[in-house]
């Protein structure tokens, strides 16, 4: 029975992602974001459970990507579609550009399944990171007290630039560090500990509004780490 436990957790991710999709279609951004977060938590613990029980296999790998495709692929595409629809009412066709996130996520997940280089690190921005970046944008726009930020989030050219950049980052040949720890020695994980500590501080100060900055910090630190290794 234990071999089915990780897969049941993965299906929990898919269940949350499906509910998030319903809320995203309804432009209920708060509940869409909430269920995406639940799904990403399930996504973390299915891999953890598979390693703990030593039952990882090809079925779990494929199932994980299929669940991620809904939670971290379909949902952010729909949300960006809504944001662009609201920002570019005069040119309605622009809203479909937001669905590039869904296409990019699908391509990235398919590559991940056949790429043997991504066992201890990532090549390209992981889809959950892209998803977290996108789902907080409407929340920031609604709740920010800064007119400049509100206008920026409602600018179609800014949103299109974000869409293209995230789609590119997901599929770029860009090595990014993973938060998996082989050991917990400071000297071997200095970059990871710095990222975790800095991210925690940013989230405490800015709450969900800091999430895009945390994702940006993750990419920048990965690039710095790659340059240092070279």
Residue 182 has pLDDT above 70, yes or no: no
**With contact defined as beta carbons under 8 Å apart, do 224 and 198 qualify?**
no
Specify the pLDDT at position 89: 73
The CATH-assigned architecture of domain 2-229 is Up-down Bundle (1.20)
Query: How do the domains of the chain map onto residue ranges?
Result: 2-229
Please tell me the distance from the alpha carbon of residue 86 to that of residue 168, in angstroms, as a whole number: 24
For residue 126, the tally of other CB atoms under 10 A from its CB is 24
DSSP 108-122: HHHHHHH-TT-SSEE
CA dihedral sign, ordered 49, 198, 207, 109: negative
Residue 3 has pLDDT above 80, yes or no: no
Partners of 176 in beta bridges: 122
Contacts of 41 (CB under 8 A, 6+ apart): none
pTM of the predicted structure, to 2 decimals: 0.90
pLDDT tens-digit readout, 9-62:
999 999 999 999 999 999 999 999 999 999 999 998 887 787 777 777 778 788
pLDDT tens-digit readout, 102-113:
999 999 999 988
For 3-16, letters b (16+ CB in 10 Å) and e give eeebbebbbbbbbb
Please tell me the distance from the alpha carbon of residue 74 to that of residue 188, in angstroms, as a whole number: 36
Q: Which of 88-102, 103-117, 170-184, 203-217 has the lowest mean pLDDT?
A: 170-184
Percent of the chain topping pLDDT 70: 95
**Class of residue 89 by CB neighbours under 10 A (exposed 0-12, middle 13-18, buried 19+):** exposed
DSSP at 57: -
pLDDT tens-digit readout, 115-167:
777 666 789 999 999 999 999 999 999 988 788 888 888 899 999 999 999 99
């Amino acid at each position: 029975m234990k071999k089915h436990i990780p897969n049941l957790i993965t299906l929990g991710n898919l269940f949350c992602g499906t509910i998030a999709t319903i809320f995203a279609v309804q432009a209920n951004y708060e509940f869409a974001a909430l269920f995406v977060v639940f799904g990403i938590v399930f996504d973390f613990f299915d891999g953890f459970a598979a390693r703990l029980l030593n039952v990882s296999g090809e079925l779990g790998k494929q199932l994980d990507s299929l669940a991620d495709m809904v939670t971290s692929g379909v949902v952010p595409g729909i949300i960006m579609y809504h944001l662009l629809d609201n920002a570019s009412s005069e040119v309605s066709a622009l809203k479909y550009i937001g669905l590039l996130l869904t296409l990019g996520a699908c391509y990235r997940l398919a590559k991940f399944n056949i790429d043997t280089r991504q066992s201890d690190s990532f090549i390209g921005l992981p889809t959950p990171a892209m998803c977290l970046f996108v789902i907080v944008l409407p929340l920031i726009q609604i709740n920010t007290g800064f007119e400049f930020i509100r206008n920026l989030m409602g600018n179609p050219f800014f949103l299109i630039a974000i869409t293209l950049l995230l789609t590119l980052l997901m599929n770029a040949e860009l090595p990014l560090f993973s938060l998996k720890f082989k050991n917990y020695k400071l000297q071997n994980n200095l970059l990871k500990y710095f990222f975790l500590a800095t991210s925690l501080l940013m989230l405490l100060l800015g709450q969900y509004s800091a999430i895009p900055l945390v994702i940006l910090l993750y990419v920048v630190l990965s690039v710095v780490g790659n340059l240092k290794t070279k």
